[in-house]
Chains A and B, each alone.
Chain A
Amino acid sequence: MSHIVRTTGLTKRYDRTLAVAGLDLDIAEGEIFGLVGPNGAGKTTILRILATLLVPSAGDAEIAGASVRRNPDAVRRVLGYMPDSFGVYDDMKVWEYLDFFGRCHGLPAARRRRVVADLLELVDLASKRDAYVQTLSRGMQQRLCLAHALVHDPQVLLLDEPASGLDPRARVELRELLRELRTLGKTIIISSHILPELEELCTSIAIIDRGRVLASGRLADIERRLRVGAVLRVRILGDGEAVEAARAWFERDPDVAAASVLDDGTVEIGFRGDDAGSARLLAEAISAGLRVITFARAASDLEELFLQVTAVDEPAASASGTAA
């Protein structure tokens, strides 16, 4: 697979602080690549450099073979960018908004009309075509902003915290939309500190802290490399006694580090094994007569990973708060 985005020694310095320190990333075509890191890790800076909004202090980045330093115009033509915080114009209707960006990209009138209609359909805003942009809800504006980034059918999409400020439903819709875009062959780079969101979506991630990549690659690879234990959540049919018995049974398993009963009666297990191990554990639990209702990996693998790698408690704690 060819690498569509490649950074070499990418560095950005603001006065004293080093926002990005010698970043080397290779992102293959068609991937959904997640940039994960606590607030202030440099995610937004990296995306802004890729979007040609910032000039790197050192190093370079290439998108589809064009350098962000030497040929920003070529980069802009293959790139769709959705910033972290963005504004909308007053006095502008939804279709005019997309039409405007179509003009900016030099699309001829006929194609512009078609693209605007298609995109409104894609982001499910066709019914809001003639509404004023500032009257849309936050989630709709987010989708509109995503649509604006797609006007020129870019190869690469940069999405900076696309799900921030969205309610769970809008978030699910966004995720569906991104999957759809991936099937259209787009490479998507997405930054977030909301980890489970990326976990379900991304093919690869890079964990970033203080401008450095702490770990990168496919999620499974990183997990294996770091030997991170999983958290299993098991619900047992029965009263407190049965649950407590199950907890004791689980704790006797050699792969289980710890097992505890949560307030809602769920047994939470710190598990050292891999997927095969958890399958084995489930099979044994059932043959041992435990009446298992659900047996699932907690959605916080990435968080665990993240905590381990960054050893910064505060942002991850806030992330787990929003992850529910």
Chain B
Amino acid sequence: MSATMGIAPGRSGRPLGRLGRSVGQRFGGIMAIGVKELRGRMRGRRAFVVLTVYLTLIAGVAWMIESIAERSMANSFGGSTNASAQIGQGIFAALLILEMVIVIVLAPSFTAGAISLEREKQTIDLLITTPISSLAIVLGKLFSALVYLFLVIVASVPLTALVFVYGGAGPEDLLKGYVVLLVTAFGLGSVGVFCSSLVKRTQPATVITYALVLLVTFGTGLVWVFWGSLGNQSSVISSQPQPADGSIAVNPVVAAPARPPEALLWLNPFVSIVDVFCGTETGFGGTCSIIATVTGRDPNLVQNGAGANFGGGAVAGPAPAQIVKGGVIVNGGGVLAPVPVPVAAAPGAAFGVAHDTFWPHAALAWLVVSFVLIVASVQLVSPTRRWRLGRPFRRVRATAAAAVSDPTTVPGADPGIGRDPAAAPDPETTPDVRPGPERAKEASS
């Protein structure tokens, strides 16, 4: 009893001590949530059953791809010099795609209930009345979900390393693949947390999250192809009277405006994965041509689009397959000089194929999206901050309205505007025009 009295909060007056405490508190809050979440998630057999099932699945798929590739190699002639590499690339592609599918399936389910479950169970009030910040709540929830997801991903590393036995994909390719997986997991996790804090109940939050994920993974690909097909019609009509400029039949100048923006596919994790496969290719292959079509960097790809260099290309899901079609139809504004590349390119020969042209952009785009979603989630979770967000908006509107009416009226002629507190440019009412991060920083302090 007397011991409970002895736990008076420590009040250190030293500024260093205070700073340390504030930093410690922020980090400690994330840790607190994370430890709690992980304790719950790892308890019992569930977590390990999921992991085991997943690894069995991965191993099975790797084995099947390996035997398929081996058999097809045995039947073909002349491909024996790099058959091993092709098997390696096939396994690499299959595993990466499988892992991406698992990330896409699991990340939303781990995070879509993060905040809404707290609301449903009425535990969020207990959390908010502790000194941990809303940022710590959101990040703690996100990280704990991701830690488990990362565990699932990392557990597959030894299996994926099977690729090294066959060659064809180096450690740097594996690393790139995992970076794309992790960034995608982080991004999709942020989408889940955002939906969870936006929608009050878990069920609709989960549905919305999966809808968004489907939109991003398949919807963007469909829109991209659709956009491309529109461009094709116009370019075919307009290119007919014009002479072909060298290597390509379609005039790139006419076709260029119709090429869908690359940014449309940035959030599509499968396109990033395809770009990683492109990194494993030594010449022009199926995957590099897809990426070149997307980024519009290499006009030569039409001829090499059907390149048989990459055996695992058929595994690349429906979306990239559609893109191939779109890629054949549409042509980019060529910036690179057309390099004549033989269809059967010798392995190891560099023909100026630009690797890693797409996925770094995509990863960056996901990080930006995640950042925005996390800031928005923090605003939605915090009862006090939500209100602060509303006021500047109203002020912006009020001041904007006043600014519009100001020049048209003689100053002082309409005392109503002058007296309007919202129109007065004093520091209390001027809208907060600082960039988001800075505001978020202040809000979370």
* A and B part of one assembly: yes
Interface residues of chain A, those whose CB is within 8 Å of chain B, are 48, 51-55, 72-73, 76-77, 79, 81, 83, 85-92, 96, 100-101, 103-107, 111, 114-115, 118-119, 121-122, 145, 148, 150, 152-153, 180, 184-185
List 8 contacting pairs A-B, 8 Å CB cutoff, sorted by A. A51-B129, A86-B125, A87-B123, A89-B36, A100-B36, A103-B35, A114-B7, A153-B9
Bound form: Cα–Cα A179–B3 in Å: 17
* A52 with B129, Cβ < 8 A, contacts A87-B123, A103-B32 known: yes
Assess the A77–B40 pair: CB atoms within 8 A: no
* A104 with B9, Cβ < 8 A, contacts A52-B384, A114-B3, A184-B4 known: no
Bound form: Cα–Cα A308–B241 in Å: 96
Best-buried of B32, B126, B128, B383 by chain A (most CB within 10 Å):
B126
Best-buried of A101, A103, A119 by chain B (most CB within 10 Å):
A103
What chain A residues lie within 8 Å of B44 (beta carbons)? Answer: 91
Assess the A55–B129 pair: CB atoms within 8 A: no
* B394 in contact (CB, < 8 A): no
Assess the A89–B3 pair: CB atoms within 8 A: no
- Nearest residue (CB) in A for B445 is A73
What chain A residues lie within 8 Å of B384 (beta carbons)? Answer: 52, 55, 72
Q: A51-B129, A92-B36, A105-B130 are in contact. List 13 more A-B contacts (CB 8 A).
A: A48-B125, A53-B383, A72-B384, A73-B131, A87-B121, A91-B41, A100-B35, A103-B32, A104-B131, A106-B28, A115-B7, A150-B4, A153-B4
Assess the A81–B25 pair: CB atoms within 8 A: no
What is the CB-to-nearest-CB distance from B44 to chain A, in angstroms, rounded to a whole number? 8
- Which of these, B1, B4, B40, B383, contacts A115 with CB under 8 Å? B4
Assess the B130–A104 pair: CB atoms within 8 A: yes
What chain A residues lie within 8 Å of B129 (beta carbons)? Answer: 51-53, 76, 79, 81
What is the CB-to-nearest-CB distance from A14 to chain B, in angstroms, rounded to a whole number? 13
What chain A residues lie within 8 Å of B131 (beta carbons)? Answer: 73, 76-77, 104-106
- Nearest residue (CB) in A for B42 is A91
- Nearest residue (CB) in A for B32 is A103
What is the CB-to-nearest-CB distance from B141 to chain A, in angstroms, rounded to a whole number? 13
What chain A residues lie within 8 Å of B8 (beta carbons)? Answer: 153
Assess the A184–B5 pair: CB atoms within 8 A: yes
- Nearest residue (CB) in A for B119 is A87
Assess the A83–B31 pair: CB atoms within 8 A: no
Bound form: Cα–Cα A41–B169 in Å: 70
What chain A residues lie within 8 Å of B40 (beta carbons)? Answer: 89-92
What chain A residues lie within 8 Å of B29 (beta carbons)? Answer: 104, 106
B18-41 interface code vs A (CB 8 A; 1 in, 0 out): 000100110011011101100111
Assess the B39–A96 pair: CB atoms within 8 A: yes
Bound form: Cα–Cα A15–B32 in Å: 36
Bound form: Cα–Cα A305–B211 in Å: 57
Interface residues of chain B, those whose CB is within 8 Å of chain A, are 1, 3-5, 7-9, 21, 24-25, 28-29, 31-33, 35-36, 39-41, 43-44, 120-123, 125-132, 383-384, 387
Bound form: Cα–Cα A260–B406 in Å: 78
Bound form: Cα–Cα A180–B122 in Å: 28
Bound form: Cα–Cα A13–B5 in Å: 38
Assess the B1–A104 pair: CB atoms within 8 A: no
Assess the A106–B4 pair: CB atoms within 8 A: no
* A122 with B36, Cβ < 8 A, contacts A52-B383, A105-B130 known: no
What chain A residues lie within 8 Å of B24 (beta carbons)? Answer: 106
Assess the A53–B32 pair: CB atoms within 8 A: no
Bound form: Cα–Cα A122–B123 in Å: 23
What chain B residues lie within 8 Å of A54 (beta carbons)? Answer: 383
* A104 with B132, Cβ < 8 A, contacts A55-B384, A89-B121 known: yes
- Which of these, B7, B36, B120, B383, contacts A55 with CB under 8 Å? B383
Assess the B7–A152 pair: CB atoms within 8 A: yes
Assess the B383–A103 pair: CB atoms within 8 A: no
* A96 with B36, Cβ < 8 A, contacts A79-B129, A114-B3 known: yes
* A148 with B7, Cβ < 8 A, contacts A104-B32, A104-B132 known: no
- Nearest residue (CB) in A for B7 is A153
Assess the A85–B4 pair: CB atoms within 8 A: no
Assess the B126–A83 pair: CB atoms within 8 A: yes
What is the CB-to-nearest-CB distance from B107 to chain A, in angstroms, rounded to a whole number? 21
What chain A residues lie within 8 Å of B5 (beta carbons)? Answer: 153, 184-185
What chain B residues lie within 8 Å of A73 (beta carbons)? Answer: 131
What chain B residues lie within 8 Å of A76 (beta carbons)? Answer: 129-131
Assess the A148–B126 pair: CB atoms within 8 A: yes
Bound form: Cα–Cα A114–B8 in Å: 13
- Nearest residue (CB) in A for B125 is A83
What is the CB-to-nearest-CB distance from B5 to chain A, in angstroms, rounded to a whole number? 6
Assess the B21–A106 pair: CB atoms within 8 A: yes
What is the CB-to-nearest-CB distance from A256 to chain B, in angstroms, rounded to a whole number? 47
- Nearest residue (CB) in B for A92 is B40
Bound form: Cα–Cα A111–B10 in Å: 11
- Nearest residue (CB) in B for A104 is B130
